[in-house]
Amino acid sequence: MLVQSEDMLPSQWLGPVVELCHDQVVILAHRDQWSLHPALCRGAMCFMTESLSGDTVSSADGPPDRSAVHTDRLLLLRLVDHPAWPEPGTAREARVQALTQNGPIDGRAQAHFMLVRYRLVGAYLLNPGSSIGNRPALTFSGEPGHLEHADRYAAFAPSPRMQDFFINGTVNPKHRIRFGLLRHDESQVYQRDGGVTACLSMLDIRGRRTAMFGKTRLGKSNVVKLLVQGMLDVTAERRDVGQLIFDVNGEYANSNPQDGADNIGAVYADRCTLYYLSEKKAGGPNAKMLRFNFHERPEDAMATLHELLPAEVADTDYVRPLLSCRLPTLRFAKDEPPDLVQRRLRKLMVYWTVLHHAGFEQNEARLTEVLTTLGYTFPFTPSFNQPLRMSAYQAVNGTSAPPQPKTFAEMVAEISLMLRFSLSYPNDPALRKQGSFIFDSDEEIMARFLYPQAGAGPYVLRPATPFHSPHVDNFITEILGTIDQGGTVIVDLGSANERIIRYFAKTLSVAVFLQQEGKFVRNEMDGRFVQIYFEEAHMIFPPNAGNVIDVYSRFAKEGAKFNIGIVYSTQSPSTINTDLLAQTENFFIGHLSSQQETSILSSVQYAFKGMEEDIMRARTPGFMRALTASHRYPIPVQANRYDGRSLLMD
C-alpha cells in the first residue's frame, strides 16, 4: 500500500478538491486545520487520494474513511499559491458552497476556509507483485493519466513517512549518503523533530553529468565536497572510481578556517594525491609539484608553450614561428641508421640550447641518465664533422676547435656557435653535406629566434619558466595512473590565472578521455569509472562553439559510454556549453537572481518549470533544489555542511 492509516489521520487532512485539471488543483482548506501544518508553504508537497467508485467527498468537515479510497495510487501536488475567493455565480462558488454547506458564501465562511492552488506533479502507482529489496516496486508518471471529477478527490498533508517517501522513494537504495534535510522554505520549520533526511545515491552521480548553479558563497562548493566525500566512502573497499578535481580556489587541497573543517586531501590523505603550482603549499607525503619537464617532453613542448605564454607574446611575429616547430620524441632506435639517430638528438640539442638561453633550468645528471638509458653513448656530443668545427670556431671566435663537447654547458656553447655561424656564413661549403644544408627548417627557425635581427630575444619565454622543472616525471602519466587505481587527484590551481587553469584542465581532460576511450576499444573497462570535478566551470569550458567538437562536448555526448562522469559548478547556466547542459542528468540549484537564468534552466530541464520564482527568492546558503537521475521532480533540500565526517548510510 502507498497510503497507510497514519497518513490519513484527521490531523493530516487538508480539504476536498474544488477544481481539478491535468495541470492544477484547487482545494478548500479549513483555516484552523491549516494552522496545524506550518510547513505547508509555497513549494511544499502534499498528496491527493481518489475515492472508490461511486463515493464522493462532499464535505470540508473531515477526511474520507480510509476504506473508501484507493491506497495503491496517489497524486503528488506542489503548492503554488492562494487564489482569490470565488466570485458569486461562478462554478467555483457553487462547488465551495456545496462543500461548506453554509448557504451563501459570505465573510463568515471566508473566516473559516480558504482556497489553495497546487500544481499536479504526477502520480505514484504501486506495481503489484514486484519489489526492490524489501520495498514494493513503484512507478511514477509525470502524466497523471485519467482523472475523475473533482468531487472524487481529497488532499492530505504528508506525514513524516510520506515526506520520506516523496523525497527518497525513487532513490536507488544502493550507495546512499545522507545529503541533507527536506526544506521547503527559508524558515526553520524543517528542523522540527529532527527533520526528514534527504538521501542521494552515489550511483546517480557516478559516470553521469552533474551541474551546480547558484551565486557565490551559497553552497555550491560545499555540495561538491559532499559528493567527493561520498564517492570516496562508497568505494572504500572496491576502488572502482578514480576522481580528478580541478581545485580553482584551493578549497579541496587546503584547509580553510572559514569553513571550519579539514580539507578533503587531509581527511582522506591515504587516498588523495595533491598537485600544487605554488612551492609554498607543496608539502606532505601526498603532495607533488605540478610542473612540465620541457627537456624530457619535447614533442609536447611547443604546444604547451603556446598555452602557457600570454597571448601578446605567443602571437607575435617573433615567437609564432618558434611555436610552429615540430620536435621529435626523446627516443633511441637501434634499427635506424646511426646518422639519422644522431641528427634527431642534435635537433633536440638545438631546442635545449633555446631553453638554456631563455632561462629554463636543466638537470644535467638526470638528463644524462635518461639519454644513456635510452642508448646514447655520448649524450651531449653534437658530432659535427671536424672541418665544419674548424671553420666555425675560426670564423666566429678566431680560435681553433676545442675537443668534442661532453657536458651540457659545452654542448650549449658549441650549438650556439654553430647557429651563429650558419646565420653569418650561410654559403660556407662546410655547412652542407651531400648538397643539403646541415640544419633543417625548424633548426633554422630556432637559430633566428636565438639571434634575431630585431626582437626581444629568447627571454620572452620567461613567463613559462615557473611551470617548468627538470626534476619531474610526466605528471599526466602519474595522474592517469593514480586515477586508474581508484585514487583521487586534487589539482590546486588557486594561484593560477584563467589561461593557466584552462591549459591544465584541457590537457588532463583530453588525457583522461583518451585513456578511457582506449580501454573501451580494448574491452578493458572492467566496471571502472572516472569522475572529474570542475569548479568555476565558466573559466574552463569554452563558450558555445556551434559545431566545433572539443573534449568537453565529447564528455557530454560520449562520457557515459566511456564511464566518465563530470561535476561542474558555476554561477549561471548561460555560461555553460549548451551541448553539455543539454546532456546533464543531475542538477543542484541554489539562488539565481535573474529571470533569464531561471528561464534557461527550465528550458533545458522541464522539471524546474514553475519553480523559477522560488529559486530567485531563496538565498539561504546550502538551500538547494536537487534533481538527480533517480528523482522525477526537484527536491528542496538544506544540504549538510561538510565537516569531514562520513555521511555514508548503513
| The pLDDT value given to residue 608 | 94
Q: Which amino acid is at 241?
A: V
Judged by DSSP in three states, 216 sits in coil
| The pLDDT value given to residue 19 | 93
| The pLDDT value given to residue 33 | 66
Distance CA 561, CA 542 (A): 23
| The pLDDT value given to residue 5 | 77
Give domain limits for the chain: 5-170, 209-291+473-633, 298-467
How far CA 571 is from CA of 211, 406, 552, in Å, comes to 10, 57, 18
Distance CA 64, CA 59 (A): 9
Helix (H) or strand (E) holding 276: strand 272-276
Q: Which amino acid is at 310?
A: P
* Angle in degrees, 0-180, between the axes of helices 386-396 and 408-424, rounded to the nearest 10: 70
Which residue stretches of the chain have pLDDT < 50? none
Contacts of 89 (CB under 8 A, 6+ apart): none
Q: What is the pTM of this model?
A: 0.90
Distance CA 565, CA 576 (A): 16
Task: Return the number of other C-beta atoms located less than 10 Å from residue 233's C-beta.
Answer: 16
Choosing among 3.40.50.300, 3.40.50.720, 3.20.20.20, 3.20.10.10, the CATH entry for 209-291+473-633 is 3.40.50.300
The DSSP output letter for 114 is E
Task: Return the number of other C-beta atoms located less than 10 Å from residue 50's C-beta.
Answer: 21
Q: Which amino acid is at 597?
A: E
| The pLDDT value given to residue 252 | 87
- Going by DSSP bridges, is the β-strand pair 153-156/436-437 parallel, antiparallel, or unpaired? unpaired
Residues composing the chain: 650
CA 58 to chain centre: 53
| The pLDDT value given to residue 343 | 95
Judged by DSSP in three states, 250 sits in coil
- Going by DSSP bridges, is the β-strand pair 488-492/272-276 parallel, antiparallel, or unpaired? parallel
Residue written as grid cell 546517480? 204
